Amino acid sequence: SGMYSTGRMLRDLALNGQGPRAFTRLTKNGLPLVGTTFSAALMLVGVGINYQWPGEAFNYVVSFATISGMWAWIMILVSQIRYRRMADAGLLPQSSFKAPGAPYTSWFALLFIGMVIVMMAIDKDARISLYCAPLWALILFVSYRALRSRTPSDPEKTSAETR
């Protein structure tokens, strides 16, 4: 079910111009075969990691997922801090929801995430994710730049063409 739902998500991204057009194609039965196959191929990477480093594979994967989650929260917190600063300066409209303790709570959360990153740097099993994170960020950045200039696909046209 994970491979299928990932295939569907990849198709939706492609329909919105945020992924390769190949992911928009469906089989005659409506299966997102390209996306599902891509998802399965990426799962094989996990098999390879488990084969190569059976004792450390779980820690590697969890550490990498942790770094990805922390990056998302760092971006959310930095965006919230910048928004508040610009709203307070009158450059953006004030929000009707005021986060309790803001901006101090955002700074505290960033400090906490920083401490987790330091602890990951100390832990030899988690350290690999800190080494891989810049490479992963570069891959995402280059992919985003390559796809950014594309316009969203027409869902009606794409659906008719891919059935």
Residue, of 49 and 161, whose pLDDT is higher: 49
Lowest mean pLDDT across 23-27, 57-61, 143-147: 143-147
Q: Is the pLDDT of residue 88 over 50?
A: yes
How far apart, in Å, are the Cα atoms of 70 and each of 20, 53, 90, 129?
27, 24, 30, 12
Residue, of 67 and 111, whose pLDDT is higher: 111
pLDDT of residue 163: 47
Burial classification of residue 125, based on how many CB atoms lie within 10 Å of its CB (0-12 exposed, 13-18 middle, 19 or more buried): middle
pLDDT of residue 55: 87
Q: Grade residue 87 by pLDDT with cuts at 50, 70 and 90.
A: very high
Q: What are phi and psi of 49, to 5 degrees?
A: -65, -45
pLDDT of residue 156: 56
Q: Grade residue 155 by pLDDT with cuts at 50, 70 and 90.
A: low
The proportion of the chain whose per-residue pLDDT surpasses 90, expressed as a percent, equals 50
Lowest mean pLDDT across 87-91, 98-102, 138-142: 98-102
Where helices occur in the chain by DSSP H, the ranges are: 2-15, 33-52, 57-88, 104-122, 124-148, 155-162
How far apart, in Å, are the Cα atoms of 32 and each of 21, 35, 37, 58, 79?
12, 6, 9, 29, 35
Q: Please state the rounded mean pLDDT for residues 68-75.
A: 93
Which tens digit of pLDDT belongs to each residue from 77-86?
999 999 999 9
